[in-house]
Chains A and B, each alone.
Chain A
């Protein structure tokens, strides 16, 4: 029985349970709904939930477990000669078997018999049924495929029987439970609450999973490269080894990458903070409501532009522009038209990243400035302060902790930003202070180490996880500190 039909049947049982449950509750009420603990709809929902949720959980568990179980039994039945083969070859064989098994249901009884007797014709027979095979199957494969087909059919049948039985039993038992004092509403709401908790824990569990996977891979890396060489090394030269070759391990110094990350982030903040802050002050203190209602969403659109687009902008427009203009300047100054700003440089990447960050700074600070109580502004204005004196001496100092928090959050975005720096910062891992030269960042190197055809065993690839976890820890610390500051500041007005 197909999955969709099964789902439909379970849903139908659920709907029937709902109708029956609310009908029964109405009957028990005897025309006076106040005799019931909950409204009839809750009794209906209670029956529907008891019918559907266990059945659906069973369906989910069966659908996950049964293919695994079937695969392991089929593999256990492989001839000894096949079991001697390496794991990868066995996987290929199993794939072929399941392809044949998929073709089997489309065949007539005679064709099946022919297939079982004459394995050599299998390829043409199956091709006629729309199942292409890479090579002629070996005889044991046809046999296994038939076992697989039988097991699958049986599993599907049992699945249908058990799931429908579970749904019907759930509906029946919960229907029997219905009584005027049954706290159906509380139970239904309990299930809803469970759903909400499950949804929010998914996010947390995913984070935990990501951290755990990064930590294990990073631990593999630190097995081959000592941690202090990674964290304090000043040379980044991973030296990609030729496939299969061992011995050349290269140097994995984090310091130049971190320096580039912080430098570019610093230039970006240099652009974003003043512009964003001034925009926020204008928006929250001076702009009329009409202007604000138009411009604020526009600024937030800027935050929605994918960063790869900013990357294009940096690479194709800003970089060449800065290079050409620097050539003009040096031409005017010295007569020698040599550009001193390179197209890929700290300045280019930082500048464009700064533009990307403006809406974050302005939007967050705007919210924080607006949250400063009106009473404080009135107090200052009532003493004869001008609007700008009020902003400088009362509003901004009061909002300062919150603004600092917002800036820290923005900084953590700047540090984690990838696409702009990949396209505009360059790939040379160098330590220098000239903003017109290219530098590289942690995120760029993660991209570099992981793109291409690589095996996940060499330190050259595993270093990406060590870089990733370092970046993660830095941004996490920044965010936690920012949240702490923002929260502390919120209490100030209570």
Chain B
């Protein structure tokens, strides 16, 4: 009975993944920093409950594209975005969209772990508190606990929730940042090279975590490591000089890419 229901649940998940539904769609997205153009008419569809990896050499525009997805580029002076990005049918650059609400739906984890210089508990409860997601203290405790559990950090920190978040190790800090993002219950989580500042063991833990998070969230991850892209993602998009070169199933991308440039990059001929 128990086994039956588990397989049933897996089947539902399988089915969910097999039928393609798109969470975010970018059409002809171009980004300018002042006079300099950083992105040329990128069209990319992000599938729901899928990990999409963005790869490419440094300065190719992959981080820039990632940051357009929750309008983090708005905070950079002189940055201009053209084209259309749609989240569940709504254009996120439409004036009627509140950027605060958007960022609550599309969360972000940064390259360098950046916990606030506050306690672990306050770090996780920060988002729910500003969005008013928890009424009582007990609600908040529950949100903090589930978020930390989802980020695989609960067992390590449950006895010291009120110690400073900056006192954790680098890998723990990054998982704390993931917990912080998860606590707002976003639909999409953007990760900008989340493992580049971490050692291999911490990296392995985060990758495992990304696998688990996929069941509940749509994930877009920028990475420099081809192996990481191959390990964690189902879809991969390759950027070069501000253009989207190719977007494909990860398996196909790393065995038999359509584009010569992808082949060259993956073989390490440039980048």
Interface residues of A (CB under 8 A from B): 288-289, 373, 375-386, 389, 393-394, 397-398, 492
Contact = CB atoms under 8 A, between A and B. Distances in A.
A470 B8 CA distance: 82
Contacts of A382: 70, 72, 103, 107-108, 110, 181
Interface string B93-120: 0000000111110011010101111100
B177 A379 contact: yes
A383 B117 contact: no
Contact of B116 (A289, A381, A384, A398): A398
B180 interface: yes
Pick the most buried of A289, A373, A384, A385: most chain B CB atoms within 10 A of its CB.
A384
Contacts of A377: 75
A384 B184 contact: yes
A289 B78 CA distance: 10
A289 B77 CA distance: 8
Contacts of A397: 117-118
Given A383-B126, A383-B127, A384-B103, A378 B72 contact: yes
Given A381-B72, A492-B117, 18 more contacts: A289-B77, A375-B114, A379-B177, A380-B126, A381-B75, A381-B103, A382-B70, A382-B107, A382-B108, A383-B103, A383-B104, A383-B127, A383-B180, A384-B101, A384-B104, A384-B184, A385-B126, A397-B117
Contacts, number: 68
B77 A384 contact: no
Interface in B140-197: 166, 177, 180-181, 184
A376 B116 contact: yes
Nearest to B190: A382
B181 to A, nearest CB: 7
Interface of B: 70, 72, 75, 77, 100-104, 107-108, 110, 112, 114-118, 126-127, 130-131, 166, 177, 180-181, 184
Contacts of B102: 384
17 contacts: A375-B112, A375-B114, A376-B114, A376-B116, A378-B114, A379-B114, A379-B177, A379-B180, A382-B103, A382-B110, A383-B107, A383-B108, A383-B184, A384-B184, A386-B100, A393-B130, A397-B118
A393 B131 CA distance: 13
Contacts of B107: 382-384
Contacts of B75: 377-378, 381
Nearest to A400: B117
B110 A379 contact: yes
B181 A383 contact: yes
A398 B126 CA distance: 15
Contacts of A380: 116, 126
Contacts of B166: 492
A389 B130 contact: yes
A492 B166 CA distance: 9
- By Cβ-Cβ distance, the 8 closest A-B pairs, closest first, are A384-B104, A382-B108, A375-B114, A384-B103, A383-B127, A379-B114, A384-B100, A385-B130
A439 to B, nearest CB: 41
Contacts of A393: 126, 130
Nearest to A492: B117
Contacts of B72: 378, 381-382
A375 B75 CA distance: 12
A394 B112 contact: no
B171 to A, nearest CB: 17
Nearest to B116: A394
Contacts of B110: 375, 378-379, 382
A369 to B, nearest CB: 14
Given A289-B77, A377-B75, A378-B72, A384 B130 contact: yes
Contacts of B130: 383-385, 389, 393
A376 B173 CA distance: 13
A397 B119 CA distance: 12
A383 B130 CA distance: 9
A383 B131 CA distance: 9
Given A383-B130, A393-B126, A373 B114 contact: yes
A167 B177 CA distance: 70
A259 to B, nearest CB: 38
B243 to A, nearest CB: 26
A462 to B, nearest CB: 50
A36 B126 CA distance: 66
A396 to B, nearest CB: 12
A389 B108 CA distance: 17
A423 to B, nearest CB: 44
Contacts of B181: 382-383
Contacts of A378: 72, 75, 108, 110, 114
Contacts of B104: 383-384
A384 B105 CA distance: 8
- Interface hub of A379, A380, A386 (most chain B Cβ within 10 A): A379
Contacts of B114: 373, 375-376, 378-379
A382 B184 CA distance: 11
A382 B113 CA distance: 13
Given A380-B116, A383-B126, A288 B77 contact: yes
Contacts of A288: 77
Contacts of B100: 384-386
A288 B76 CA distance: 11
B4 to A, nearest CB: 40
B177 A384 contact: no
A404 to B, nearest CB: 15
Nearest to A385: B130
Nearest to B123: A379
A373 to B, nearest CB: 7
Contacts of A289: 77
Contact of A379 (B70, B77, B116, B131): B116
A86 B127 CA distance: 85
Contacts of B77: 288-289
Most buried by B among A289, A382, A389: A382
Nearest to B71: A381
A236 B166 CA distance: 53
A373 B111 CA distance: 13
